[in-house]
């Protein structure tokens, strides 16, 4: 029997490394230890197109096999939580429940069904694999106008060279069809991607021969400047524009879904890719920033393992390369404004996404 535990507070949504440190990341990062689950239910099946009353909602998987499902639906009195075709919890318009005793699954999906309005399908954003630490769903966020980004369609990740056979089988079951590799040639050669059976591997080198990540920094200030300047290159560099045009082309083609894009740490090149996607879909900047900064949480243990091999002075220089920071992403958005005047002009002029194509992208990836 499924056990339910009421939680008093509503959980809020969770708030790539520099190419110069790629060798360290490849050699020292320990893979995540969480076990994969063997079954997936597609995120978009059965999800209502009616207006969705939820202003916030999250699913968080516990290490003990439980799931905390939290939501806020102003004006709604009753919400049913369904999983595996049955109701596993009930609550009011603002609530949080812990669900236990569900059978193992690759991803456990929950349908939040309000007494009125459209339902919302969510899973924990983190996809637990043995060979990655930062493999996440790009969706599950609310836009400014009240729609939600579908989950199960677009994924982001760190390097894939350590994926196990079990990981690859899991990704195949999750429907990953297209993998965009954002890394440089040297990274791809030293740590070749492993991709699930039947998936297409596409090279989309963001950095190319840009000198932005050339010589290693020797001071903390130089490291921060490298990251800030590197973010600008991801916006206006020629190789970056070509790479992200390729990625967005795959995202816009439903036949290529589920789409996965990744770099080495899944935080810089991957971070801008997802920030650009969420911004294009109408997700508020503060939510985009929280998603970007979440790499610090998911990569904490891996980053600490890297820094543990260094002296204190070395750590001061390398830590900015391993972090994601508000000033880094803000540098990218500032470059958009400086070079293009607006984000929509960036999408059009840099990535070839015009107003009609943007409407189609939103139609495909948003619900509500």
For residue 243, give both structure tokens: 């790479």
pLDDT of res. 210: 74
Band of residue 47 on the pLDDT scale cut at 50, 70, 90:
very low
pLDDT of residue 146 exceeding 70, the answer is: yes
Stretch 267-291: mean pLDDT = 98
Domain containing residue 155: CATH number:
3.90.190.10
pLDDT category at 213 given cuts 50, 70, 90 is low
Residue 23 has pLDDT above 50, yes or no: no
Q: Rounded to an integer, what distance in angstroms lies between the CA atom of residue 116 and that of residue 20?
A: 52
Instruction: Check residue 24 and give its pLDDT.
Output: 33
- pLDDT band, residue 128 (cuts 50/70/90): very high
Q: Mean pLDDT throughout 23-38?
A: 31
β-pairing, 94-99 vs 4-6, is antiparallel
Question: Where would I find the H helices in 174-299?
Answer: 185-190, 220-236, 238-252, 269-280, 285-298
Q: What is the mean pLDDT of the chain?
A: 89
How confident is the model at residue 53, as a pLDDT? 98
Mean pLDDT calculated for residue range 189-199: 97
Closest CA to 263 of 106, 126, 132: 132
**Given this model, what pLDDT does residue 39 score?**
35
Question: For position 26, what pLDDT does the model report?
Answer: 30
Provide the domain count of the chain. 1
Query: Does the pLDDT of residue 309 top 70, yes or no?
Result: yes
pLDDT of residue 49: 56
HSE of 273, CA atoms in CB hemisphere, 13 A: 37
> Which domain, by its residues, includes 59?
4-367
């Amino acid at each position: 029997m499924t056990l339910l535990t009421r939680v008093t507070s509503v959980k809020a949504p969770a708030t790539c490394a520099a190419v110069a440190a790629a060798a360290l990341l490849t050699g020292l990062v320990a893979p995540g230890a969480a076990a994969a689950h063997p079954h997936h239910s597609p995120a978009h099946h059965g999800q209502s197109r009616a207006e969705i009353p939820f202003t916030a909602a999250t699913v968080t998987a516990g290490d003990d096999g439980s799931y905390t499902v939290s939501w806020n639906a102003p004006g709604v009195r009753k919400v049913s939580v369904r999983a595996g075709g049955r109701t596993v919890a009930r609550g009011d318009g603002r609530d949080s429940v812990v669900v236990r005793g569900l059978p193992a699954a690759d991803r456990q999906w929950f349908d939040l069904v309000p007494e009125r309005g459209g339902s919302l399908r969510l899973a924990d954003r983190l996809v637990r694999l043995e060979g990655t630490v930062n493999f996440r769903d790009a969706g599950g966020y609310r836009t400014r106008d009240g729609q939600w980004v579908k989950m199960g369609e677009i994924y982001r990740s760190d390097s894939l060279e350590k994926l196990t056979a079990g990981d690859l089988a899991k990704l195949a079951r999750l429907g990953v069809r297209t993998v965009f590799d954002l890394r440089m040639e040297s990274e791809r050669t030293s740590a070749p991607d492993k991709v699930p059976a039947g998936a297409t591997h596409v090279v989309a080198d963001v950095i190319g021969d840009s000198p932005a990540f050339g010589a290693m920094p020797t001071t903390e200030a130089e490291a921060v400047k490298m990251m800030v300047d590197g973010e600008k290159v991801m916006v206006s560099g020629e190789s970056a524009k070509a790479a992200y045009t390729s990625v967005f082309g795959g995202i816009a083609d439903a036949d290529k879904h589920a789409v996965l894009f990744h770099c080495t740490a899944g935080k810089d090149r991957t971070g801008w890719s997802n920030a650009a996607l969420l911004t294009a879909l109408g997700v508020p900047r503060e939510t985009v920033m929280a998603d970007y900064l979440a790499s610090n949480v998911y990569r904490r243990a891996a980053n600490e393992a890297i820094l543990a091999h260094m002296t204190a002075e070395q750590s001061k220089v390398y830590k900015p390369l391993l972090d994601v920071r508000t000033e880094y992403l803000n540098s990218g958005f500032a470059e958009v404004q400086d070079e293009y005047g607006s984000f929509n002009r960036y999408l059009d002029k840099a990535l070839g996404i015009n107003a009609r194509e943007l409407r189609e992208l939103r139609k495909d990836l948003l619900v509500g």
